[in-house]
Structure 1
Amino acid sequence: MKPMKLRNTLLGLLAGATILAGAGIAQAADITLKVSHYLPPSHGFQKDFLESWGKELSEKTNGKVEVEIYDATSAFGKIDRQADQVRAGVMDMAVGLNGIPRDRYPAASIIELPFLVKYADSGSETLWTLYKEGLLGSDYNDFKLLALFTHPGGLIHTLDNPVRSLDDLKGLRLRTPSPAISAMLESFGASPVGLPPSAIYENLQKGNIEGLVATWDLVNAVKANELLKYHTDAAAYTAGFYFVMNQKKYDSLPDDVRAAIDEISGDVLVGKFGDWWTKWEAVGKANAEQHGNEIITIDDATRAKWQEASQPMIKEYLAGLKEKGVSDPDAIYKRAQELIAEFDAKYHAGDK
């Protein structure tokens, strides 16, 4: 009798374990979506943006969906492959930089023209509105577009040559993130050098470049403040970013999952980037100050002169976009200026 009781007890325990295991499986996500980006896992793109977006998607689908993130340290973190990986279905989603590879999104590049964007919220809302109004043409036709955004007006960071005037830019080899910004630098006499973020530190260290145009956030992310000595804040430019999804993957998802993705993307998501960039920039600037670097602030009057000096370059750039198939780049630029003014008045009326 005792062996039979033991057997029954063991069978009961095994049955209970099976039930618990089955419950665990039932609670596991039914759908896994893979998203990649090109920055370190500690960056705000992952910690504040993608992780929170993934968590919100999981909550809204009652755990049906989980999001796996692949950062720059993974095989899927190459900056120039983000959109292509999504198009091919290797990744379901990706966050990437519009300017790399160059000329991929010519209409959207208009947001990057010199001295147009000063604030991340205004820039992001403007770029997203241009898309919603149909002014970006076929730039993102291959994808389910989840968001477009920009960073705040970027700085000019240098090793040994402080930039206090446009003349100081002449001859400097500076890392550039996009064709529009390259055109700006060339018009001011600098030599733009295209490099992914991962190559910035090494090229600064070796003297292959003498500085870069970037946000406080990026120079901090790549630890460039250890080498840089000067930071010129002229809000001279911005860069545009995309958050895209494979269209076939999106279409294949259940209705409730698609609805959840739509609910937490688009207008709602774009509206968050202003606060996120404010947070990220503050950290990068504080890091530069901790290193004892000099911060040079260009006043509004001088910035206006720099902006005026960039007008021939802007005109030439817009003409070049027409040759790349953008139907009316001048109209897009004019609309971008109008939208920036509207959003600046809405969000920054009290700013000096």
Structure 2
Amino acid sequence: MGLCRLLLLPIIAATINSAAAAEITIRFPIEYAADIAPGVANREFKELVEQQTNGRVEVKLFPSGSLYKGLDLVQAILRGDAEMSTLTSAYWTALSPKLSVFELPYAFPERSAFYRAIDDAGFMESAYSDVEQKGAKIIAVLPYDHFGFATRTKALRAPRDMAGLKMRGLGRTNSAILSSLGASPVSLNLVELSPALQQGVIDGLNAPIDIMLAYKWYESVKHITYAPAYLGFYPWMANAKWWSGLPPDLRKIIQETAIEVALRHRARSEAETDKAIEALRRHGVDVHVQTSEERGAWAEATSSVWKQAEPQIGAELIARVRAYSK
């Protein structure tokens, strides 16, 4: 009997450690795959948080929309059915239209302008105040990349080239941009895009460059125009009630880790974009980077979106966004 007890000690210890690890569990669904740039950041966050809390916090990642996706994921965060997520910003505009300020065409033609905006705590607090009142807390920002306009059959060089195309639209403002260029926006979740491209449901889409590589959209897409019309990012959101109820020491570790990972991710996302452009070209895709002259023409063609959005965003937030690019 003594020997049996001795042999059972490691099992008992493992059980105790497992119980300790389950003190706080963060259910962390994401809509994208875990092996693209933001997914790598999420995995890094999981590893660091679990290490730095000595197993008191466990992070369970659910990639590729396997638990929730799109607006269902927004509602899951608000209900507390998921504690945390990095979901593309466009979905959060359903709760607060003024968040469309981040999606205005050519608002952040350089990444540095976007970084100045998200590093301005006062600006971010003002932009996300409505969302927080509805039950979600922003704790960091995971930037991604300027979107590329990708099509199956047609190169896009001038604004008029978009006319008549069925393009995946991502939220109200992004769809307004497409409409201002003469395209017809089609609302689809990320996981629906591959079959939609293959079956011709859409003629194209706008998305970060490395996603096009990761999801092998180069098998359907033949032309990409890389343009700074919209810089995609993932607000790092948590259920507000759960967040405020965390032990202060754990909340501090989780937030500091999210910020650290997000800052480190900036260089990674830029590097992944450069690599993806070259890889897509090797797959035979025509990847065109907009010239400054072309940017000006496209910005002018989409300028009406700024005027349309001002009543829901507010003149003050719009003025602050313009200032970051000066």
The letter for the 1-side match of 2:319 is K
Alignment pair present for 1:182 and 2:175:
yes
Judged with a 3 Å threshold, the aligned counterparts in structure 2 of structure 1 residues 260 and 121 are, in CA distance, closer, same or farther, namely farther
Give 2:98's aligned residue: 107
| Among 50, 59, 71, the residue aligned to 2:51 | 59
User: Is 1:286 aligned to residue 278 of structure 2?
Assistant: yes
CA RMSD of aligned residues (A): 2.2
Code of the residue aligned with 1:192 in structure 2: it is P
Question: Any residues of structure 2 matched to 1:167-178 within 5 Å, and which?
Answer: 167-178=160-171
Matches of 2:163 and 2:170 in 1, distance apart? 19
Q: Tell me how far 1:187 sits from its aligned partner.
A: 1.0
Q: 2:81 aligns with which of 86, 90, 93?
A: 90
Cα–Cα, structure 1 residues 125 and 21, in superposed 2: closer, same or farther, change >3 Å?
A: farther
AA at the equivalent of 2:235: Y
Is residue 134 from structure 1 mapped to residue 123 from structure 2 by the alignment?
no
Q: Identity of aligned pairs, percent?
A: 22
Shift of 1:37: 0.6
Once residues 313 and 193 of structure 1 are traced to their aligned partners in structure 2, the CA distance between those partners, rounded to angstroms, is 18
- Find the partner of 2:302 among 303, 310, 313: 310
Asked if 1 retains the 8 angstrom alpha-carbon contact of 2:197 and 2:204, the reply is yes
CA distance in 1 between counterparts of 2:220 and 2:47 reads 37
Which of 107, 121, 130 does residue 116 from structure 1 map onto?
107
- Compute the displacement of 1:245 (Å): 1.3
The answer for the alignment partner of 2:316 in structure 1 is 331
- Over 3 Å counting, the alpha-carbon distance change for 1:255 and 1:139 in structure 2 is closer
Q: 1:147 aligns with which of 126, 136, 140?
A: 140
Contact 2:225 2:287 in 1 (8 A): yes
Whether 1:207 aligns to 2:200 is: yes
Task: Summarize the Cα distance change of 1:241–1:40 in structure 2 as closer, same or farther, 3 Å threshold.
Answer: same
- 2:221 maps to what in 1? 228
Quote the offset at 1:115 in angstroms.
Answer: 0.9
Contact 1:117 1:152 in 2 (8 A): no
Q: What residue in structure 1 maps to residue 9 of structure 2?
A: 19
SS at match of 1:295: strand
| Contact 1:34–1:91 (Cα < 8 Å) also in 2 | yes
| Alignment partners' CA distance in 2, 1:273 and 1:119 | 17
Cα distance change, pair 263–254 in 1 and its aligned pair in 2 (3 A)? same
Aligned to 2:234: 241
The amino acid across from 1:290 in the alignment is R
TM-score by length of 1: 0.84
Contact 1:114-1:237 at 8 Å conserved across structures: yes
CA drift of 1:139 comes to 2.6
Give the 3-state SS of the residue equivalent to 2:268 in structure 1.
Answer: helix
Aligned structure 1 segments of 4 or more residues deviating by more than 3 angstroms: 118-122, 130-133
1:297 is displaced (CA, Å) by: 2.5
What is the SS of the residue equivalent to 2:146? coil
Deviation digits for residues 153-192 of structure 1 (CA, Å, limit 9, x no counterpart): 2111111111111111111111121211111111111111
TM-score (norm 2): 0.90
Task: Answer yes or no: is the 8 Å Cα contact 2:140–2:255 preserved in 1.
Answer: no
Q: Matches of 2:49 and 2:159 in 1, distance apart?
A: 47
Alignment: residue pair count? 321
Query: Which amino acid is 2:223 matched to?
Result: Y
- Name 2:252's counterpart in structure 1: 259
- Give the greater-gyration-radius structure (CA): 1
- In structure 1, stretches of 5+ residues that fail to align are 1-10, 342-352
The residue that corresponds to 1:347 in the other structure is none
Decide whether the 8 Å contact of 1:174 with 1:192 is kept in 2: yes
Could you tell me which amino acid in structure 1 is paired with residue 321 of structure 2?
A
Alpha-carbon distance between aligned partners in 2 of 1:44 and 1:127, rounded to the nearest angstrom: 19
TM-aligned CA deviation for residue 138 of structure 1: 0.9
Query: Offset at 1:125?
Result: 4.6
Q: CA deviation at 1:263?
A: 2.0
- Larger mean CA deviation between 90-99 and 37-46 belongs to 37-46
Q: 1:339 to 1:52 in 2, by over 3 A?
A: same
Is the strand fraction higher in 1 or 2? 2
Tell me if structure 2 keeps the 8 A contact 1:61–1:256: no
